[in-house]
Amino acid sequence: MLLKDKKALIFGVVNDRSIAYGIARQFKEHGARLAFSYAADPIERRLAPISEELNGEFMFKCDVTSDQEIATGADLVREKWGNVDILVHSIAYANRDDLKGRFIDTSREGYKVALDVSSYSLVALCRAFEPLFSPGSSVLTLSYYGAGKVVANYNAMGVAKAALEACVRYLSVDLGENGIRINAISAGPVKTMAASGISGFKTILGRIEEKAPLHRNITIDDVGKCALYLASDLSTGTTGDVVFVDSGYNIMGV
């Protein structure tokens, strides 16, 4: 088992279609101990049976736009576990109005919300949990092709994901001083709750099937297996990187 008795903290499971669920399931199959965070009370009701299914040891509420809630969460994890070996950041949000039409029409408030929730939250979590990370710990986050290329209607989220990938690079230097790795997985489009807010999402799925070398869309298990590699000792020399899991779509030209 690649993660036997490793303590993995998962942020971002909303339901059993979440990419974070696919990651958590792979971690469980390889012996990891799991704990889950949720952003709001309605999500707790959906997360509870998933945590039970995956033998989660505890859950806690954490609004990642609040430094106080993050600090409280870190204190709870310290009390429950003492340390953390793996942290998964699978969190993103933008107002629905900022995921359609012209990017130039993005509101100032919408821009700030997208960057705060989708990018800065990674920095805030790493800062709060850094004292808890064991030597050789691994931090993972989720990005998308739209961070580096223009994807219709992705708009504010594309900019937020670009910032997220830059955060991974800069955080890798800070965390690397203590032997902690951090990487991003750029996952292809998956039918998740978050994706439902993007206009024209079905068109994107069809384009992947047509153009990608593997001619199929990815699954949450595809992402979970990559996360397993990045969380385990198989990837001890990899940090600050963005790994694509998109059936090869990102390599294609015209």
One DSSP character per residue, 41-66 reads HHHHHHHHHHHHHTT--EEEE--TT-
Is 152 annotated in a binding site? The answer is no
Beta strands in the chain (DSSP E): 7-11, 33-38, 58-61, 84-89, 133-143, 181-187, 242-245
28 assigned to a ligand binding site: no
Q: Per the annotation, does 191 bind a ligand? A: yes
Tell whether 18 is in a known binding site. yes
77 carries a ligand binding annotation: no
Inter-residue contact 208 to 190 (CB < 8 Å): no
Buried-state track 173-211, b at ≥16 Cβ within 10 A, e below 16: eebeeeebbbbbbbbbbbebebbebbeebeebbeebeee
- Whether 149 has a binding-site annotation, put simply, is no
- Is 38 catalytic? The answer is no
Q: Residue 161 annotated as binding? A: yes
Q: Tell me whether residue 106 is annotated as binding.
A: no
Rounded to 5 degrees, what are φ and ψ at 192? -110, 175
Catalytic residue among 21, 38, 93, 154: 154
Which of 144, 145, 170, 249 is labelled catalytic?
A: 144
193 annotated as belonging to a binding site for a ligand: yes
Quick check: is 144 catalytic? yes
Binding site membership: which residues? 12, 18-19, 63-64, 91, 94, 161, 190-194
Binding site membership for substrate: which residues? 94
- Active-site residues, by number, are 144, 154
Binding site membership for NAD(+): which residues? 12, 18-19, 63-64, 91, 161, 190-194
